[in-house]
Chain A
Amino acid sequence: MAQPLVKKDDDRDDEADYSPFLGIEKGAVLQEARVFNDPQLDPRRCSQVITKLLYLLNQGETFTKVEATEVFFAVTKLFQSKDIGLRRMVYVMIKELSPSADEVIIVTSSLMKDMTSKTDMYRANAIRVLCRITDGTLLTQIERYLKQAIVDKNPVVASAALVSGIHLLQTNPEIVKRWSNEVQEAVQSRAALVQFHALALLHQIRQNDRLAVNKLVSSLTKGSVRSPLAQCLLIRYTSQVIRESANNNQAGDRPFYDFLEGCLRHKAEMVIFEAARAITELNGVTSRELTPAITVLQLFLSSSKPVLRFAAVRTLNKVAMTHPMAVTNCNIDMESLISDQNRSIATLAITTLLKTGNESSVDRLMKQITNFMSDIADEFKIVVVEAIRSLCLKFPLKHRSLMNFLSNILREEGGFEYKKAIVDSIVILIRDIPEAKESGLLHLCEFIEDCEFTYLSTQILHFLGIEGPKTSDPSKYIRYIYNRVHLENATVRAGAVSTLAKFGAMVDTLKPRVFVLLRRCLFENDDEVRDRATLYINTLGGDGAVVETGEDVKEFLFGSLDIPLVNLENSLKNYEPSEESFDINSVPKEVKTQPLAEKKAPGKKPTGLGASPAGPPSTVDAYEKLLSSIPEFANFGKLFKSSAPVELTEAETEYAVNVVKHIFDGHVVFQYNCTNTIPEQLLENVTVIVDASEAEEFAEVASKPLRSLPYDSPGQTFVAFEKPEGVPAVGKFSNMLRFIVKEVDPSTGEAEDDGVEDEYQLEELEVVAADYMLKVGVSNFRNAWETMDADCERVDEYGLGPRESLAEAVNAVINLLGMQPCEGTEVVPNNSRSHTCLLSGVYIGNVKVLVRLQFGLDGPKDVAMKLAVRSEDEAVSDAIHEIVASG
């Protein structure tokens, strides 16, 4: 048998000390594995060979498919041995090899035999191995044994079955869910770990059933949990229940708080800490609730165990963000942690102190921080920098010492992220604290003198161009900027040229000198830098004399481009050099709907640099802009509401189409967003033929076809309808996509000249009453309700018939009306027989509407509802009732 040579582990060879695995080679070990086939097995020797194989795998060695199969088959022979130690190694080996499905069959019967063995260790391990390698079909065969094992009197066997159940729940949930009764029984087990595993599995089985989780928590918090780990789980589940029921009882005592507080007196530190952390993370936690948790965390701060100190200070650090006052009691303990051996603990202590400290302690703190800044990692330094930034915004009077600190650390060694954090902080301080501006700008100037990061240099130069000219003595910055033109790479040089030009444009007295400097740049090597210099010399005008710069030049230099950059890029790519010069006005300003649909990244930090920090415009603004740019729709008036996109095609069809309904006072515009998902096709002249025969009050007035729809670049076509003014007309529309399809050669990307007309059936679209309602919340429903004229109130009762649950009925009515639920009343507490829901909105014609819904269960399933509407117009109040009556 030819064995591939294995390279030796060099590190190991160099070692002087003896290792039993010195010079081990895969090929040799695989040869040795032949002893598994001996008729007379030597358990000790076999165990050693398995250990060697496991050692190789553990060191990162891999077996080829053939090798793995060979080893696997050899290992299965070892089931003949009765030696317990060897069997144990066999189990581990099989798990490591993770055999394929057809190999699993070979060991199944051996493992099933072990699973029913009298030896506990066999049962426990065979279950773990079998569940690890099995698939769904085999699982049904062994299900019976697993259920028995869960309630086995040996805790090791029970735990093995339960833990395997937790893993299997990911792949075969329907089978594991059938074991609830057994798992429930195991939760009552007297063995600590069994209880822990059973609780974890039971919760995962029921996690989508809020009521069941609620029940589980209520019964267990009464005290039958022994294991600390299980108790920690219970605390987590309890906080989940608290969180989900938080909306219902804002006043009064929080349910289960007593349980959490009781856990603070548990004998296991793990449980105490879990409970303390759970309390600090409660939504809207009050300082009264916090106090006992803070007290135990404070005790942990002076523990001799680093892990406890770390856990406590990390939690207190988080609390300090929202409740700085609650943490101030710990400040003395916290200050002694600044010199903690463990740098993570020291950093957390410092940043906590920065958050809770008062103005008088700032200077002392800064001194302590400076001492330890040099020996912590960049990621911690960033944390400190951010803490100092917020501290400075809190105490603007201290800006001098804080700004000095920032500029000092800016000069020290550090990676990009760290330097960027410092620069961002300085920029933010310059923006928000006017007194800090001049010194801050000079710090930045000094920094770019010796900055290795191009990105930071250009950003700072840009920022200087905006802020520098507005200072009392702009001329002092010129030297720093012009130095960049000499000493930097082309990107930074180009940035510096632009900044110089900005000074020239804004500060008339400086213009002649800037002109001289710009002229020198005309002999640049780099095209971009030279072109910029030429451009600025020509636009600034005045031939270097002290004259005022024209407004349009300033606009050109400082104004923002109101064209989406993506569109500009596309247009430039499509532009073919010809007599006709490129016209920037030909670039479409329409924003593609695709990027709009993207969610904004959550929790993004505000960026300090960059020209326009304003976020992307809201969807409604974007739609409004888009529609008003189309002449056919320009006279429709103000856009009242745009719906969320409604899909008109199944996922993964040839053409993906969704529609947005734009509601105007007297018109409705359907915006069809189309995507062509076939690379071999180009669609042209795309329109949607709308049949409005089931929507009597609507009459088609205009349609804007899409000229061309290439593969994978979404486009829009529009159809507009007229409807009676101010009337919430409803109806159904059937849609047909019509277009000319042209074949595209995928290799060249060119389309054929001739196309074929084709049609594609889309799903129906409905305009419903909710489309005429804007979701607008009110801060105080009661006040708003009282101030509305009671004469416009309309009250009536409705039977909603049998419903799945009260919550389902409430949701149905909210969706039907399309209004904004207020004060969290859309959440229905479990088990309640009645519920009141408050809604608010703005109806078409800008009429404010408030709705008070009272639901009650009438019999087992029937839901009855009392609907009270108040609005600024009684006709609208009636209309709401009509919506409900017909819905």
Chain B
Amino acid sequence: MESCPSIKNILLLDSEGNRVAVKYYSDEWPNNSVKEAFEKSLFSKTQKTNARTEAEIAMFESHIIVYKFVQDLHFFVTGAENENELILVTVLQGFFDAVGLLLRGTVDKKEALENLDLILLCLDEIVDGGIILETDANVIAGKVASHSIDAAAPLSEQTISQALATAREHLARSLLK
């Protein structure tokens, strides 16, 4: 296998298997009903497992799926059968932690839906067309958070966590330079 690691989809479902936010990067699922069927059977296969302290893993319909649950939210990342499992779990962890930062620790379905714009931006910052863009939760959250404020607004008007996120991003940038 000499190809670039790729992500087939990222799913965020609630405790009944319904969508909170999903993003598919592969055309293996041609339409919405196929996608929903996949989500449903994946959910029913995994819901009884305990994926709350450590990320879990399953082989499912020739995909490798890593997943992690918190409260009533279920996070999934799907990759190809021969993908390096640890790369997938890095993406999952990045997504999971970034959502945690963006929702300021209150990670549940209600909070996620109320801040759906942040979740969608978060997905947009993690993977682009199947290729991993960023896996560091701080950087991801920083990029998303900095967008939700007016750049011109003075720092004092930002909430503490936004300010933190901005500061974190500046720090991350300066470290990367």
User: Are A and B bound to each other?
Assistant: yes
Residues of A near any B CB (own CB < 8 A): 11-12, 17-21, 47, 50-51, 54-55, 58-60, 62, 82-85, 87-89, 91-92, 95, 119, 121, 128, 132, 153-156, 159-160, 163-164, 166-167, 190-193, 196-197, 200, 203-204, 207, 229, 232-233, 236-237, 239-240, 269-270, 273-274, 277, 304-308, 310-311, 314, 341-342, 344, 377, 379
Residue of B nearest to A192 (CB): B176
* CB neighbours of A19 from chain B (8 A): 109-110, 113
Query: Does B70 sit within 8 A of A, measured CB to CB?
Result: no
Chain A proximity mask over B96-136: 1 for CB below 8 Å, otherwise 0? 00000000000001100110110011001000110111110
List 9 A-B pairs, Cβ < 8 Å: A19-B109, A51-B120, A92-B121, A159-B133, A167-B129, A192-B176, A200-B131, A236-B2, A277-B84
A307-B176 in contact given A47-B117, A59-B19, A163-B131 (Cβ < 8 Å): no
CA distance A54 to B132 in the complex (A): 22
* CB neighbours of A62 from chain B (8 A): 32
Residue from the list A83, A203, A304 in contact with B150, Cβ < 8 A: A83
CA distance A232 to B129 in the complex (A): 20
Instruction: Say how far A288's CB is from chain B's closest CB, in angstroms.
Output: 24
SS class, residues of chain A in contact with chain B: helix
* CB neighbours of B124 from chain A (8 A): 91-92, 95
A229 touches B49 (CB 8 A): no
Instruction: Say how far B65's CB is from chain A's closest CB, in angstroms.
Output: 10
SS class, residues of chain B in contact with chain A: mixed
A197 touches B131 (CB 8 A): yes
Known: A236-B2, A240-B2, A270-B90. 10 other contacts (CB 8 A): A58-B120, A88-B121, A128-B128, A154-B173, A163-B129, A200-B4, A200-B131, A237-B2, A344-B57, A344-B59
A17 touches B177 (CB 8 A): no
* CB neighbours of B89 from chain A (8 A): 305, 307
Instruction: Say how far B85's CB is from chain A's closest CB, in angstroms.
Output: 4
CA distance A599 to B58 in the complex (A): 34
Instruction: Say how far B95's CB is from chain A's closest CB, in angstroms.
Output: 15
Choose among A87, A89, A164 the residue with the greatest number of B CB atoms under 10 Å from its CB. A89
* CB neighbours of A89 from chain B (8 A): 117, 121
Interface pairs A-B: 9 shortest CB-CB:
A60-B32, A88-B147, A270-B86, A311-B85, A240-B2, A200-B4, A51-B117, A85-B148, A191-B176
CA distance A240 to B3 in the complex (A): 10
Residues of B near any A CB (own CB < 8 A): 1-5, 16, 18-19, 21-22, 32, 35-36, 45, 49-50, 54-59, 66, 84-90, 109-110, 113-114, 116-117, 120-121, 124, 128-129, 131-135, 143, 146-152, 173, 176-177
* CB neighbours of B116 from chain A (8 A): 20-21, 51, 54-55
* CB neighbours of A160 from chain B (8 A): 128
* CB neighbours of B56 from chain A (8 A): 306-307, 342
Residue from the list B19, B66, B110, B134 in contact with A18, Cβ < 8 A: B110
Residue from the list A159, A232, A307 in contact with B55, Cβ < 8 A: A307
B21 touches A269 (CB 8 A): no
A190 touches B131 (CB 8 A): no
Instruction: Say how far A165's CB is from chain B's closest CB, in angstroms.
Output: 10
B150 touches A85 (CB 8 A): yes
A341 touches B132 (CB 8 A): no
A166 touches B120 (CB 8 A): no
* CB neighbours of A306 from chain B (8 A): 54-57
